[in-house]
Homo-oligomer: A and B are copies of this chain.
């Protein structure tokens, strides 16, 4: 039997990288067979901070899976357009996720565990507890970083009691002061000077099918949204090019102030009226709109936008 590859979504964020490592460790403790955590892209600056802090190597980056295995495990995603390019050629045996389910289909029964919580690593923490498997301190450090990242230090509306409980438990195992470590880690992800326009718009972007349109949604964390919009003309040009090159109908960039828990939206593509309707805003002549209190793409951007596109 070949090695099963375990990976998160393309444009990996901290949870996508960490959940792959955590679930790989879980599987090696509970199942026969070989498992390897890999990634569909390089770690972003925040994830690099995390990996460096806990002296953990970045996973190997793969572009295709079928050339080396016939079975894969997906963490932190399920939609095929967010997954490996040749997903149709391999068998998905397990999925651990905390997103909506869409554009996902199998021929055979599989292990699928999704919960409406803030972070995949929270679900994996529960699974370790259910199976009474101890989490090594270094892995606990990675997993608590993923929870801090996905929930913006428990401030995102996606945060649940299970995330709070898992973070508390993991912090105890890893012996980490969550608040001070968390702010340093989040700030490490907001250094925009070192990022290209392409990094900013695409670093965390995901594609969604909505009412027959392909909508690309990127999100960038910052401590001052002016750092983003000082580069607006260049970002718009890069978004326009991405739309043309990839057939996206629309590109939305959500710039999120992690200290204030607010966002500002930049939209390239049409029809813009749908975006205005979705968020009940009027786009300025700069194609921008403030989204007060919005920090979660999954919970506060994708659902209203999907509803507006499919109305």
Contacts and interface: CB of A to CB of B under 8 A. Distances in A.
A99 to B, nearest CB: 6
B105 A306 contact: no
Contacts of A306: 107
Given A101-B101, A104-B101, A130-B130, A298 B109 contact: yes
A103 interface: yes
A137 interface: no
A114 B93 CA distance: 11
A134 interface: no
This chain's copy number in the assembly: 2
A102 interface: yes
Nearest to A304: B107
Contact of A110 (B103, B116, B130): B116
A184 B306 CA distance: 51
A105 B78 CA distance: 11
A102 B108 CA distance: 10
B107 A303 contact: yes
Secondary structure class of chain A's binding surface, majority of residues: loop
A191 interface: no
A116 B105 contact: no
A198 B55 CA distance: 66
A112 interface: yes
A98 interface: yes
- 4 tightest A-B CB contacts, nearest first: A112-B114, A109-B116, A102-B105, A100-B106
24 contacts: A98-B109, A99-B109, A100-B107, A100-B108, A100-B110, A101-B101, A101-B104, A101-B105, A101-B110, A101-B112, A102-B106, A107-B302, A107-B306, A109-B114, A109-B115, A109-B116, A109-B298, A109-B299, A111-B115, A111-B116, A112-B112, A112-B113, A112-B115, A113-B113
